[in-house]
Amino acid sequence: MLKQIFYAAALGVACFAAPVVQAGSTAAANAILPKAQVAQFSDRVQKILASKGANVAIVSRMGRDPATMPDGITYTHVAFWVYSNITLADGSTGTGYRVYNLYQDSKNKSRSALIQDSPADFFAGAQRLDAGVIIPDKRLQKKLLAVIASPTYKALHNKRYSVLSNPNSNQFQNCTEHLMDVMMASLYDTRDKSQIKANMAAHFVPSVIKVSAEKRAWAPVLSQALTTRDHGEEIRTATFGSIVAFTKRHKLAAKVIRITPSKVARF
């Protein structure tokens, strides 16, 4: 029971694998939901982003049942979507979005990898077709594209994975933290990790995650990916919600929207 309770609290925060289909792995190409629905929704999100002139966007998916999530946490995985030249399955070429992910390793859950995939692959790990989207302003888009295309993007990757990684520390990393590291590198024109973390501590407010002392003590026994040893008394981690708050507070977002199969709404 303790294991089930802790997982319900922790898995909703970052790119953790679902029990059957790997929500954060390319193995999730076998969609949890019907493939036709996933493909249709993926195309819908792409068309909406393109219509709004997004050369790069931050997109999140709902990889866990909302009923199992901590209060205030809705989305479980975030990634950069970059408008690109792509080659289709039939060999033809066109334009569309490539997704730049930090995914948890499906075999060694305390490790991660940077993997590019398609919008359909991204939503293959979704429990519900619901996307939170940040479209950065044009200035930030330009800066993000430069960093994503440079060696800095990979240099900022820390393979040591923790679901609840502390964004102010270089000890571990998850998808939201890597995304924020890239954003800070873009905003401050630096690849110096110490400077990035100093800027993070000064300007970014992570989400507080409520975990009891008993659950926290058991976490590393259950999985090294659930470690909290990079935290003090309070557990704080980057979430899609805290990234939204950061971009709004510093006027970095052109639009923040929620996309479902039936509507587009402001966040």
The pLDDT of residue 211: 65
pLDDT surpasses 50 at 4: no
- 42-45: long-range pairs with CB below 8 Å, 24+: 42/118, 42/119, 42/120, 42/122, 42/123, 43/119, 44/259, 44/261, 45/119, 45/123, 45/131, 45/133, 45/259
Name the more confident of 105 and 187. 187
pLDDT category, 3, cuts 50, 70, 90?
very low
- The partner residues of 133 in beta bridges, in order of sequence, read 59, 257
**pTM higher than the cut 0.75:** yes
The top-scoring range by mean pLDDT among 156-165, 230-239, 254-263 is 254-263
Who contacts 254 (Cβ-Cβ below 8 Å, separation ≥6)? 52, 135, 136, 137, 138
What percentage of the chain carries pLDDT values higher than 70?
79
Convert the pLDDT of each residue in 38-96 to its tens digit: 999 999 999 999 999 999 999 999 987 777 776 767 898 999 999 999 887 788 889 99
The pLDDT of residue 215: 54
- Helices 175-188, 240-249: crossing angle, 10 deg rounding: 20
The pLDDT of residue 236: 84
pLDDT category, 231, cuts 50, 70, 90?
low
What percentage of the chain carries pLDDT values higher than 90?
63
Mean pLDDT of 106-128: 91
All structural domains of the chain with their residue ranges: 2-266
Strand duo 207-209 + 235-237: pairing: antiparallel
Convert the pLDDT of each residue in 119-178 to its tens digit: 999 999 899 999 999 999 999 999 999 999 999 999 999 999 998 889 999 999 999 999
pLDDT surpasses 50 at 261: yes
